Amino acid sequence: MTLPTTSKPKLNIVPDTGFYIAAALKNGYARSYLTGRGSKFLTYELYSSEAILLETQEKLETKFGFDRLSVVKTINEMRNILTIVYPTRRLSIVRDSDDDKILECALEAKADLILAFDKDLLALREYEEIKIIHPAMLQYLFPKAFKF
């Protein structure tokens, strides 16, 4: 008797701007998600939008003092990993309207999860059945998939 094979779960994930900034600033779990692409227990696809990447670029330059050339290089490296979507719906949900672009991207990407450092997004916990969690929670939800 042969047992049926099951495919491993695949998550569609939209990280917030803070996630990309964390990945650019230091080698930690945010960066490991960008390079990981899954495990034998779980696969995932990371989605973003031009608006999210533009905000990331602006913050890296203005708040963190990155020079334009290194920011462009960093954003281009991220583009090679991400799937870029172009949201068609405009929302006004989050207290900080800049965060609405994350929800718009997640809807367009048909995301399962939003990974957020942002407190306003985390306070929502969920939007239209898309769970919103802190990136560190992935290692607790899927301990076999994410070991650091």
Record: fold of 10-141: Rossmann fold (3.40.50)
Beta-bridge partner residues of 115: 15, 133
Q: What is the pLDDT of residue 121?
A: 93
Low-confidence stretches of the chain (pLDDT beneath 50): 1, 3-4, 147-148
Q: What is the pLDDT of residue 136?
A: 81
pTM: 0.84
Chain-centre distance for alpha carbon 135 = 8
CB burial of residue 11 (10 Å; 0-12, 13-18, 19+): middle
Q: What is the pLDDT of residue 40?
A: 58
Q: What is the pLDDT of residue 1?
A: 46
Q: What is the pLDDT of residue 138?
A: 75
Could you give the dihedral angle defined by the CA atoms of residues 123, 22, 11 and 92, in that order, rounded to the nearest 10 degrees?
Answer: 40
Q: What is the pLDDT of residue 3?
A: 46
